[in-house]
Amino acid sequence: MHPLWETRDVVLEVVSLLPKADQARIARVNTALWEIAIPWIWRDVPNIRYIFQLLPLDLWNETIDPLTPAPKPPRSRELQDSDWSRFLFHSNNTRTTTYTTGDLRKIVPPQIWSHRLFSTSFPNLRRLFVTILDSVSEGPIDIVPLLLRSSLRSIEFWVEEPSSESILFSALGTITQNKTLSIEDMGFKFVRNVGASSGAIAQAIASQTSLRRLELNGYTDVAHLAGSATELPLLEELEVHGMFAEVPEINYTDLSFRSLRTLIAVGRPEMIHSLLRCIGSDRLAKVALTFTSWRSEMQIHPELMAELQRFRPHLAHLQLTVDMKLLWGALEPVLALAELQAFHLEYLQFGSDLITDDQLGHMIDAWPNLTQLRLEVSPPRVTLASIACIGTHCPNLRKLALTFDARKTSNSLAPREVDTSHSSENALELLDVMESEFDEGDEERLSNILRSWWPKAHLCRSDGDLRTSVHWDIDEAPHWPGATESPSSPETSVN
């Protein structure tokens, strides 16, 4: 064997980067590699059933695999300490796993849960995902409370539609009463809105004073939280997904959350506006808002955007996704956020003059520290004149994505009219032209123009249907204009 494989630190780094199938192959090479690979194989387990399958087969009540013939009836014997060896060894390595209600009810013998050694399992469990299907009977044993470990730092509930007898409530009650838990990340996702659970959720949240990130299913949950958890001293990120027809039952005026740095909110404009008003922190650095409405006549008002000015001078990253009527006048208050470094606007309504050359010029003048700009607005109303203005007025811009009109009939700008003397000083690393419009066969000429303005930038054209899969930080973004790209124009990897 090559001496490289005898250097433990190197092998650890290599194994950590491999997919599980390759980790399993390495584990079969020899004992030394087995000892290194096994903890990684069992570190993240997609289904907790796989761990329980490590118990002796003659303890199982029924087979897990429906294609496998049913096993013989379980032997009539006491559970021995030796039966736990493999289960405990591998569960000690598990950091993340998922449990779905009903998965273990029939296949795990009841004596497993009450055995003294079960309480010693999963001592290093950090993240637990719980899927609750209330249409599936859990049986006489509430399993979720039995999986709560003092090492747990993140727990997320995905609930179909809990009834009053849902195991969600027993799990929340255990979290509230368990004084050994120190959860830092909690999430609640419901297929349907269930206001009856809000009070129990708020109590469970309030009991976790170490909480740093919180994801809630609706604004009713936020309303309940205002009364029972007005101060979570370490909370840094709040994410709220509102329902279309949801109307909070409780009026709230102050959520405190003095340490909040990141806010993600989805819902109707009036819900988001109320949330912004009651946030106690004035130090928000990142805000992502998604506006939705089932009423076509509803629109966003300037007063809502003006509420963001309260978070100056700390607000540096702003993302807006709008699926309703939006006029430029409603966006104008955002121009007052002079410290803004990243702005992303996705407007899902087609056929708008929302962003024109004039509006883009106002953005450039208002945000001198801009490093990232992404404008997803169709059809394009921005021309090459504005693109050139970005090149000369935004030397700190590193990533730019926007749709513009580069057709000759829409542009009177010639390349010689743009001062490129300072082009080498531009910091732009990535330019995504998205769904920009060009004259047929003119892409290569335009790409040369853009490269003369941003010689260090990587040019690409992301697919509109796959836009969410194209990340700004990838090293191998799609090229533009493809095969015609000049080899004399070196690319810079985006890290």
User: Does the pTM of the predicted model rise above 0.95?
Assistant: no
Residue 244 has pLDDT above 90, yes or no: no
Higher-confidence position of 371 and 112:
371
Specify the pLDDT at position 246: 61
Place of tokens 């897990």: 64
Q: What is the rounded distance in angstroms from the CA atom of residue 286 to the CA atom of residue 419?
A: 34
Q: What share of the chain is helix, strand, coil (3-state, %, to 5)?
A: 35, 15, 50
| CB-neighbour burial class of residue 441 (10 A; exposed 0-12, middle 13-18, buried 19+) | exposed
Percent of the chain scoring above 70 in pLDDT: 77
Strands 458-460 and 430-432: parallel
Task: Using alpha carbons, select from 143, 252, 261 the residue that is nearest to residue 213.
Answer: 261
Specify the pLDDT at position 463: 65
For residue 399, the SS3 value is: strand
Q: What is the mean pLDDT of residues 135-148?
A: 76
Most confident of 114-128, 163-177, 267-281: 114-128
For residue 11, the SS3 value is: helix
Indicate the length of the chain as a whole number: 495
Specify the pLDDT at position 8: 82
Summarised one tens digit per residue, pLDDT across range 201-233 is: 888 998 999 999 999 988 877 877 876 666 788
Contact (Cβ atoms closer than 8 angstroms) between residue 86 and residue 54: yes
Most confident of 52-56, 206-210, 346-350: 206-210
Residue 3 has pLDDT above 80, yes or no: no
Contact (Cβ atoms closer than 8 angstroms) between residue 189 and residue 217: yes
* Strands (DSSP E) found in 179-324: 185-190, 213-216, 237-241, 262-267, 286-292, 317-323
Confidence of residue 238 (pLDDT cuts 50, 70, 90): very high
Specify the pLDDT at position 248: 55
Q: Which two tokens mark 103?
A: 């998965």
Confidence of residue 368 (pLDDT cuts 50, 70, 90): very high
Q: What is the mean pLDDT of residues 111-138?
A: 86
Strands 372-376 and 342-347: parallel
Specify the pLDDT at position 140: 63
Mean residue pLDDT across the chain: 81
Q: What is the rounded distance in angstroms from the CA atom of residue 358 to the CA atom of residue 349?
A: 20
